[in-house]
Amino acid sequence: MQKVGVLALQGDVSEHVSVLKKAAQESGIEIDVVEVRTCRELSSLDALIIPGGESTTLSLLMEREGMFEEVKKIRKIFGTCAGAIMLAKKVRGAEEGQKFLGLVDIEVSRNAYGPQTESFEAEIESGIGRLKAVFIRAPVIERVWGDAKVLAEFAGKPVAVEERVEGKSFLAITFHPEINGETKFHEHFLRM
């Protein structure tokens, strides 16, 4: 049984927990889901979801909890929106002192689709099916290199990327599947 943590410092935590449970149930995969608030809870996880929210706040709170090194040891991580920013190796528009995990071969531009009022929904075609994606002050993935593989694009830019390297698997998407109850990417993550 996979033990999957949802980082519960900030953002759409309960929504991720429900979509994750729904994805597991629909695909017949047994999981144990835990909301993670302290560094101690990270070491027993097989996988971690970093929800969207605000990457500057996530950075501060993860640092306050001393989590950076422990998170980097987790073998499977799924970051959505701000979570994807945390996973990126290069970030444009970072605040001074903002820290990132730097695990995925992508360069992102924070807030590059515009402010909150420019948030939008779009039908996207992805390597794992067609789905409706909700973008909220999303980052744009400007560049992908190395072992990172694009799973979906919107308006000519990648919006979902996966990377499998040295026995680790990462999934980074710039939209919010937890908001409209979209299970495809959570299911894909569980199978990775």
Q: Which is nearer to ligand GLN, 17 or 82 (CB)?
A: 82
For residue 19, the 8-state DSSP code is H
Per CB under 6 A, which region of 27-35, 46-54, 160-168, 184-192 contacts ligand GLN? 46-54
How many chain residues bind ligand GLN (CB under 6 A)? Answer: 11
Query: Which CB sits closer to ligand GLN, 175 or 189?
Result: 175
Nearer to ligand GLN, 46 or 121 (CB): 121
| Ranges within 52-81 binding ligand GLN (CB under 6 A) | 52-55, 81
Report in angstroms how near the CB of residue 74 gets to ligand GLN at its nearest: 20
Kind plus residue range of the DSSP H or E element containing 47: strand 47-50
Among 77, 109, 134, 137, binds ligand GLN (CB under 6 A): 137
Question: How far does CA 23 lie from the centroid of its chain?
Answer: 16
Check 16, 176, 186, 188 and give the catalytic one. 176
Strands of 31-36's sheet, edge to edge?
31-36, 2-7, 47-50, 76-80, 168-173, 157-165, 148-154, 120-126, 129-135
Exposed, middle or buried by CB within 10 Å (0-12, 13-18, 19+), for 61?
A: middle
What's the min distance (Å) between Cβ of 173 and ligand GLN? 11
Residue 178 is a catalytic residue: yes
Distance from CA of residue 145 to its chain's centroid? 18
Query: Shortest gap between Cβ of 102 and ligand GLN (angstroms)?
Result: 15
Per DSSP (E only), the strands in 8-44 are 31-36
Token digits of residue 156: 């000519």
The gap between the terminal CA atoms of the chain, to the nearest Å, is 14
Greatest CA separation for the chain: 44
Residue 158 interacts with ligand GLN (CB under 6 A)?
A: no
CB of 122 to ligand GLN, least distance (A): 15
Q: Which of 7, 62, 85, 88 binds ligand GLN (CB under 6 A)?
A: 85
> Active-site positions?
81, 176, 178
